[in-house]
C-alpha cells in the first residue's frame, strides 16, 4: 500500500502542495477567486505532468501557458500592481527554461515581463497614483525575470549536455563491449581451429600411409585373381573406391589444417564471384535443380585480396546454399560496395539454421548434413579471417539463410 502511494505521490508533489497551501493560509484576503486560482495552479503543477497527452513538447507549451495565464490572473485579483504574488510569474519562466530551450525561454520570459508591466497602465487608468519607488520596484521585479530565466536555462542546458555526453559514452561502451565480445569469440574460434588443425594434420599424415598400402594391395589383388574370382574382384573394387573417398576426405582435412597465407593482389570481386559460380554450374550441370542468380554491383572497385582463396570461400558458401535449398528454388549471390571495401552475400531459401546451431556452424567437424564433414564453413571463416574481414550470418528457420562476407579494401 505504501509502495503504491509512494509511486502516486512523489516528494516534489508534496513540496508543491505545501507551498500552495501555505500561500492560501498566509494570504490576508483569502478571496474565493484567489483560492480558486491557487487550486488551479496546484492542479497544473502537480497533476498535468502525469497526463500522457501532456508529456510532449506541445504539452509542455500548454502547461507553461496555463501557468502564465493563471499567475497573471492571480496578481490581478490580489491588488494588481501592489500584489504580493508577483514572484508567481517565475513559475512559467523556470518551467520554460527547463523544458523548451533557449528561444522558448526567451519568449516565455518576455511574455511574463509584459504581463507584469501591464499592471502599471491598468493602475494608472483606475486613478491609482504610483510613486517613483513603486515604479522602481515594478521595474526591478521585471529585471529579475530574465535573470532567473537565463540562469535556470544555463543550468538546465548544462545538465542536458552532461546527459547527452553520458548517453554517448554509454552507447560507445555498449559498442565497444559488443566488439570485445566478438573479438573474444574470434580468438576462441582461432584457438580451437589451431588446435584442431594440428590434430587433423597429424592424423591425416598417419592415415595416408596405410591408405596407400590398402589401395595398392587391392589393385594387386584384383589383377592377380583377374576374372576368375568375380566376388574378390568386386570386393577389391569396393576397397579401392572407399580408399579413394577416404583419401579425398584426408585431403580436405589437410586443406583445413594447412596454415593459410593470403597472397594479396588487386582483385575484381565481381569477376571472381562470376568465375566461382560458373565453375560450380559446369560441375553440377544443373543436376541439383537449384539455380544461381547473380546481382553484382557495377560500381565495385578492386580490392587487395587472394583471388584463389576468395573463390574457394564463395564456392563453399554457394554449395552449402544449393544443398540447403529445395529443388526449383534460386540461390542469390550479390556484391556491393561498402565504406571500407566490398561485401559478398549468399542468400538461400532453404530451411534455415536453428538458433542453437548458429554458434556451432563455423566450428570444424560440426554439420547437420547426413554426409557432411563440417569443414566448408570452417574453411570459409578461416579465409575471411586471413583477409581481415568478417563473416556474418542471418537466418530464420523455414525461410532461409543469409551469409555476408565483409572485406576491407586493403
The residues spanned by each domain of the chain are 2-130, 183-257, 265-408
* Cβ neighbour number for residue 215 with a 10 Å cutoff: 18
- DSSP bridge pairs for 400: 396
Q: What is the mean pLDDT of the chain?
A: 81
Domain 265-408 fold is Heat Shock Protein 90 (3.30.565)
Q: Which CATH architecture is the domain 183-257 placed in?
A: Orthogonal Bundle (1.10)
Banded model confidence at residue 271, pLDDT cuts 50, 70, 90: very high
Give yes or no for residue 274 having a pLDDT over 80.
Answer: yes
| Rounded-to-integer distance, Cα 401 and Cα 410, Å | 28
Residue 123 in 3-state DSSP?
Answer: helix
**pLDDT digits 0-9 by tens, 40-92:** 888 888 777 777 777 777 888 888 888 888 888 888 888 777 777 888 888 88
d(CA 398, CA 351): 4
Virtual CA dihedral for 161, 164, 166, 167, nearest 10 degrees?
A: 170
Neighbours of 391 (CB within 10 A): 19
Range from 56-70, 266-280, 284-298 carrying the lowest mean pLDDT: 284-298
Can 183-257 and 265-408 be said to share one CATH topology?
no
Band of pLDDT at residue 270, cut at 50, 70 and 90: very high
pLDDT tens-digit profile of 113-154? 888 888 888 777 777 777 777 778 778 888 888 888 888 888
The reported pLDDT for the residue numbered 197 is 64
> What phi and psi values does residue 85 have, to the nearest 5 degrees?
-90, 10
Cell of 274: 562470376
Contact status, residue 77 vs residue 33, Cβ threshold 8 Å? yes
Whole-number pLDDT of residue 3: 46
Dihedral Cα 372, 375, 379, 381, nearest 10 deg: 90
HSE-up of residue 310 (Cα within 13 Å, Cβ side): 31
Amino acid at each position: 500500500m505504501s509502495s503504491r502511494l509512494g509511486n502516486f505521490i512523489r516528494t516534489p508533489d508534496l513540496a508543491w502542495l505545501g507551498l500552495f497551501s501555505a500561500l492560501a493560509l498566509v494570504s490576508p484576503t483569502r478571496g474565493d477567486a484567489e483560492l480558486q486560482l491557487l487550486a488551479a495552479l496546484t492542479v497544473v503543477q502537480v497533476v498535468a505532468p502525469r497526463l500522457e497527452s501532456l508529456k510532449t513538447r506541445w504539452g509542455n507549451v500548454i502547461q507553461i501557458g496555463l501557468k502564465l495565464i493563471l499567475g497573471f490572473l492571480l496578481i490581478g485579483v490580489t491588488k494588481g500592481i501592489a500584489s504580493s504574488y508577483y514572484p508567481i510569474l517565475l513559475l512559467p519562466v523556470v518551467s520554460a527554461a527547463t523544458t523548451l530551450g533557449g528561444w522558448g525561454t526567451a519568449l516565455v520570459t518576455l511574455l511574463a515581463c509584459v504581463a507584469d508591466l501591464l499592471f502599471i497602465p491598468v493602475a494608472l487608468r483606475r486613478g491609482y497614483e504610483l510613486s517613483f519607488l513603486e515604479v522602481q520596484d515594478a521595474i526591478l521585479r521585471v529585471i529579475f525575470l530574465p535573470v532567473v530565466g537565463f540562469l535556470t536555462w544555463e543550468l538546465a542546458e548544462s545538465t542536458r549536455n552532461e546527459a547527452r555526453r553520458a548517453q554517448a559514452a554509454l552507447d560507445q561502451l555498449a559498442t565497444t563491449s559488443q566488439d570485445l565480445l566478438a573479438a573474444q569469440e574470434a580468438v576462441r574460434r582461432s584457438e580451437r581451429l589451431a588446435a584442431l588443425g594440428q590434430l587433423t594434420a597429424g592424423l591425416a599424415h598417419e592415415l595416408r600411409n596405410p591408405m596407400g598400402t590398402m589401395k595398392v594391395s587391392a589393385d594387386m589383388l584384383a589383377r592377380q585373381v583377374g576374372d576368375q574370382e568375380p566376388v574378390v574382384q568386386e570386393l577389391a573394387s569396393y576397397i579401392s573406391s572407399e580408399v579413394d573417398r577416404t583419401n579425398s576426405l584426408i585431403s580436405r582435412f589437410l586443406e583445413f589444417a594447412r596454415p593459410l597465407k593470403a597472397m594479396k593482389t588487386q582483385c575484381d570481386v565481381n569477376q571472381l564471384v562470376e568465375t566461382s559460380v560458373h565453375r560450380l554450374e559446369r560441375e553440377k550441370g544443373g543436376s541439383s535443380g537449384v539455380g544461381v542468380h547473380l546481382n553484382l554491383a557495377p560500381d565495385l572497385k578492386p580490392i587487395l585480396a587472394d583471388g584463389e582463396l576468395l573463390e574457394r570461400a564463395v564456392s563453399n558458401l554457394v554449395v552449402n546454399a544449393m544443398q540447403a535449398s529445395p529443388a526449383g528454388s534460386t540461390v542469390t549471390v550479390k556484391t556491393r560496395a561498402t565504406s571500407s571495401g566490398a561485401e559478398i552475400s549468399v542468400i538461400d531459401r532453404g530451411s534455415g539454421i536453428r538458433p542453437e546451431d548458429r554458434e556451432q556452424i563455423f566450428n570444424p567437424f560440426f554439420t547437420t548434413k547426413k554426409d557432411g564433414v563440417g569443414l566448408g564453413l570452417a574453411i570459409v571463416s578461416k579465409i575471411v579471417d586471413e583477409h581481415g574481414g568478417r563473416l556474418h550470418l542471418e537466418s530464420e528457420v523455414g525461410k532461409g539463410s543469409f551469409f555476408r562476407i565483409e572485406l576491407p579494401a586493403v
